[in-house]
Amino acid sequence: MAQEDVFKKIVSHCKEYGFVFPSSDIYDGLGAVYDYGQNGVELKNNIKQYWWQSMVLLHENIVGIDSAIFMHPTVWKASGHVDAFNDPLIDNRDSKKRYRADVLIEDQIAKYEEKIDKEVAKARKRFGDKFDEEQFRSTNPRVLENQQKRDALHQRYSDAMNAMDLAELKQIILDEEIACPISGTRNWTDVRQFNLMFKTEVGSTADGASTIYLRPETAQGIFVNYLNVQKTGRMKVPFGIAQIGKAFRNEIVARQFIFRMREFEQMEMQFFVKPGTELEWFKSWKETRLKWHKALGFGDDSYRYHDHEKLAHYANAATDIEFKMPFGFKEVEGIHSRTNFDLSQHAKFSGRKIEYFDPETNESYTPFVIETSIGVDRMFLSVMCKSYEEEKLENGETRVVLKLPAALAPVKLAILPLVKKDGLPEKAHEIMQQLKFHFNCKYEEKDSIGKRYRRQDAIGTPFCITVDHDTLKDNCVTLRDRDTMEQTRVPIDSLLSLIEEKVSLISLLKKLQ
């Protein structure tokens, strides 16, 4: 099946099984805004727990905070967001549609890459085992021609973006003959800068309301609390502050479901270090974060680093952790060495001294910062994409199963009485009463047992137990494993120990040590 179709299926599965709904669905939705349903919220909370505990429980020198979404407007002046948090936009005069100029050009670069990949795939099919990809890529004339076009465009685009040369961005779009996908024409306006922050007002307009912003990242809430936390927590450098919370960006190109949203959630950790040690810490956090992703068991080839060539003026290193989504490798997390830019800017704009006094050297300095920043929603999407499977069964039927890591699954155990009578529901409820304090259990009695298994497979429940007539005599139940569909007879008393270890976050966290 084409990856595009797989992705469409995942999106509709998310809606059908209570994971993600369009916001304000009964009003036909609101662009790039989504709600999490009864299963989605559990999965999302488990992802957040996994991140939070890996940061705050496993590191003695990392603490958490929860700062407000609204912040003093000067924060965003100091951070550079008021002046520079922009996207270059272009409009097509015929369709009246607005696009990000950089995205139009990146899509064009991707088209050259796709052409090359197609040539390679064709040749692989033709030559079979004898195919030497490296040699083919370096000699085939069509590949070389497209590679040369791709590289030239990439270079021109990088130069234009580095210089923020808007006229050049437009010229690239014209020279590459990029057409509007809706109107098909190349009737473009000039490229303009567009600030991504949402504005609102605090106070009544009558007595002088002032403009404030919905935060576009959670990081600044950490920077402005650096002194508070360092002093009250008696924190010694190196130390980190972690936070999970909502962020808002007026994204113009809202595509790919929850990949790019206008309201989303971030999990960010700012790690304050001694100047001069930041690149060592950057390397260490790069490895730590990749290990966190890989511990989920989706396979090492699902991830890659993308080291930034173009660095923000305040950064001295940056990388993305990219995940293989059905629409290609995409950024899920950013790791940035932000120097002392943010703390110095806040010191300048607030007039406060924001430093660290090192008791060992009797020196004061402004700490440097390594940031790890991951989107909860992108993480959620990557987990859904990798877990969704359509399995052909021996009887010819297709089973849709979410092979979620057990610790992230919304429901850990489904408790199913075989029939709705003869005391079986009562016995099932009794088991539920014992286990519900330990993990999320769901009781279900409607429909045949087969249909109930399928429903649990579709939401990723790792275990089901069936309570039957024999249970009343021998106090045993049938335990079914989601992935193997194997069924074993086990005593009710052993359920807690059998299941808890497999579904708890602890086993996942232990892999990180």
The nearest distance, CB 330 to ligand GAP, in angstroms, is 9
The nearest distance, CB 31 to ligand GAP, in angstroms, is 12
Nearer to ligand GAP, 377 or 444 (CB): 377
Distance in angstroms (rounded) separating the CA atoms of residues 22 and 39:
15
Q: Does 375 bind ligand GAP (CB under 6 A)?
A: yes
Q: Are 89 and 192 in contact (CB under 8 A)?
A: yes
- Contacts with ligand GAP in 290-349 (CB under 6 A)? 331-334
Q: Does 35 bind ligand GAP (CB under 6 A)?
A: no
Piece in contact with ligand GAP (CB under 6 A), picked from 174-182, 371-379, 468-476, 487-495:
371-379
The nearest distance, CB 4 to ligand GAP, in angstroms, is 20
Q: Does 40 bind ligand GAP (CB under 6 A)?
A: no
Q: Does 268 bind ligand GAP (CB under 6 A)?
A: yes
Nearer to ligand GAP, 254 or 449 (CB): 254
Single out the residue of 116, 160, 219, 428 in contact with ligand GAP (rule: CB under 6 A).
219
Q: Does 442 bind ligand GAP (CB under 6 A)?
A: no
The nearest distance, CB 166 to ligand GAP, in angstroms, is 21
Q: Does 249 bind ligand GAP (CB under 6 A)?
A: yes
Q: Does 264 bind ligand GAP (CB under 6 A)?
A: yes
Q: Where are the beta strands (DSSP E) in 13-101?
A: 20-22, 34-36, 62-64, 86-91, 98-100
Beta-carbon count within 10 A of 303 CB = 18
Distance in angstroms (rounded) separating the CA atoms of residues 130 and 127:
6
Single out the residue of 46, 373, 387, 466 in contact with ligand GAP (rule: CB under 6 A).
373
The nearest distance, CB 198 to ligand GAP, in angstroms, is 12
Q: Does 424 bind ligand GAP (CB under 6 A)?
A: no
Single out the residue of 100, 170, 260, 412 in contact with ligand GAP (rule: CB under 6 A).
260
- Environment class of 429 (CB within 10 Å of its CB; exposed 0-12, middle 13-18, buried 19+): middle
Buried/exposed code over 62-95 (b: 16+ C-beta within 10 A; e: otherwise): bbebebeeebeeebbebbebbeebebbbbbbeee
Q: Does 278 bind ligand GAP (CB under 6 A)?
A: no
The nearest distance, CB 84 to ligand GAP, in angstroms, is 13
The nearest distance, CB 501 to ligand GAP, in angstroms, is 31
Q: Is the dihedral of CA 45, 51, 52, 54 positive or negative?
A: positive
* Per-position DSSP letters for 117-167, written without gaps between them: HHHHHHHHHHHGGG--HHHHHHH-HHHHHHHHHHHHHHHHHHHHHHTT-HH
Nearer to ligand GAP, 240 or 334 (CB): 334
Q: 92 φ, ψ to 5°?
A: -95, 125
**Amino acid identity, position 238:** P
Strand partners, 404: none
Beta-carbon contacts of residue 71 (< 8 Å; ≥ 6 apart): 212, 213, 215, 220, 221, 224
Total residues binding ligand GAP (CB under 6 A): 19
Strand partners, 357: 364
Q: Report the chain's C-alpha Rg in angstroms.
A: 27
Q: Are 246 and 263 in contact (CB under 8 A)?
A: yes
Q: Does 463 bind ligand GAP (CB under 6 A)?
A: no
Site residues, ligand GAP (CB under 6 A)? 217, 219, 249, 251, 260-261, 264, 266, 268, 331-334, 371, 373-375, 377-378
